[in-house]
Amino acid sequence: MSSSVSPKIPQHVAIIMDGNGRWAQQRGLPRIEGHRRGVETVRTITDAGREIGLHTLTLYAFSVENWNRPQDEVGALMGLLEYYLKKELNTFIKNRIRLRTIGRTQDLPAGVQKHLNHTIEATREFTDYTLVLALNYGARTEIIDATRAYAAAVAAGKAKLNDDAWATFSRYLYTADLPDPDLIIRTSGETRLSNFLLMQGAYAELVFTPVFWPDFSKADLLAAVEEYGKRERRYGLTSAQLKNPTPSAP
Ligand code: FPP
């Protein structure tokens, strides 16, 4: 990082990769060409995240709502995902990147699941840097899945219904063993969270950039991290409390 960039590095950055379609349309290209270029950006930003010292990078690659896109686009996205997983396996191993997923991956095509499982298994020992792909992910379906799992644990006598600690319930989310995102970035100028990490992002800093995902660069990531470094995360406290903590402050 350049010396002008704040040394406050977020542990976990999550990105809503948006604008592939518009990037392609602006160039008179089919939408899928935007997704293809988007895969190149996934590679660039995965490397950049490791270089700047992130612990976790989560990328919103396919939402539960994305199944409603035209069938040829859905098919092309699944094909790209499979191609990406096959091509990146050696890089994940060489660069010691652990792959994880969040979402209902059991509903993805069998070929994608096979490569996902293989890559997850082959990289599970790496601890320094984790790439999380959100696939068939939606925060609302995640809450439904977590609530079902929690209810099953209560029924089996493994959890207590009157335990209202977030630390207990959050163990049933897809992200059970991952830190909450410190910074959520959305590209393409849209300023919504679109059903992405709604619970885990409760205290995340949000950065929106007009850059379309295929054009998003390491410099853009650094700019977002620098912006994060300027923010004061108060977690419900006052600024004065943060500067002069008392024993009652967490
Ligand atoms: C949003 O752009 C992007 C997506 C819905 C898919 C993101 C997928 C990739 C970057 C490629 C596959 C991913 C991996 C990890 C291999 P959009 O199509 O909604 O753009 P628009 O809003 O301009 O139409």
> Which range has the worst mean pLDDT, 28-32, 196-200, 245-249?
245-249
Q: What's the token pair of residue 237?
A: 């406290």
> What are φ and ψ of residue 31, in 5° steps?
-55, -35
Residue-level pLDDT at 4:
46
- Other beta carbons less than 10 A from residue 36's beta carbon: 17
Which residue reads 């950055």 in tokens? Answer: 13
Q: Which of 135, 190, 200 is nearest to 169 (CA)?
A: 200
Residue-level pLDDT at 242:
81
What's the sign of the alpha-carbon dihedral 205, 208, 211, 214?
A: positive
Residue-level pLDDT at 235:
84
Q: Whose CA is nearest to atom 24 of ligand 1?
A: 21
Q: Higher pLDDT residue, 52 or 241? A: 52
pTM of the model: 0.94
How confident is residue 37, by pLDDT bands cut at 50, 70 and 90? very high
58: β partners: 14, 132
Among this protein's residues, is 145 annotated catalytic? no
Residue-level pLDDT at 119:
98
**Catalytic residue (one of 18, 20, 136, 220):** 18
What mean pLDDT comes out for the span 51-58?
A: 98
**Catalytic residue (one of 47, 66, 95, 180):** 66
Q: What's the token pair of residue 17?
A: 């990769």
Q: Whose CA is nearest to atom 22 of ligand 1?
A: 19
What mean pLDDT comes out for the span 21-35?
A: 98
How confident is residue 247, by pLDDT bands cut at 50, 70 and 90? low
What mean pLDDT comes out for the span 109-128?
A: 98
Ligand 1 geometric centre to CA of 181 (Å): 20
What mean pLDDT comes out for the span 204-218?
A: 98
Ligand 1 geometric centre to CA of 187 (Å): 11
206 Cβ contact partners less than 8 Å away, ≥ 6 residues apart? 183, 184, 185, 186, 193
In this structure, CATH architecture of domain 12-139+180-243: 3-Layer(aba) Sandwich (3.40)
**What letters, b where the CB count within 10 A reaches 16 and e where it falls short, cover 142-172?**
beebbeebbeebeeeeebeeeeeeeeebebb
At 2, the amino acid letter reads: S
Q: Whose CA is nearest to atom 5 of ligand 1?
A: 62
Question: What dihedral angle (degrees, nearest 10) is formed by the CA atoms of 144, 132, 129, 174?
Answer: 10
Q: Maximum Cα–Cα distance for the chain, whole Å?
A: 61
Q: Which of 18, 19, 20, 17 is nearest to 35 (CA)?
A: 20
Residue-level pLDDT at 7:
63
Residue 213 DSSP label: G
- 3 state DSSP class of 185: strand
63: β partners: 137
Q: Whose CA is nearest to atom 1 of ligand 1?
A: 18
pLDDT digits (tens, 9 = 90+) for 127-154: 999 999 999 999 999 999 999 999 999 9
Among this protein's residues, is 18 annotated catalytic? yes
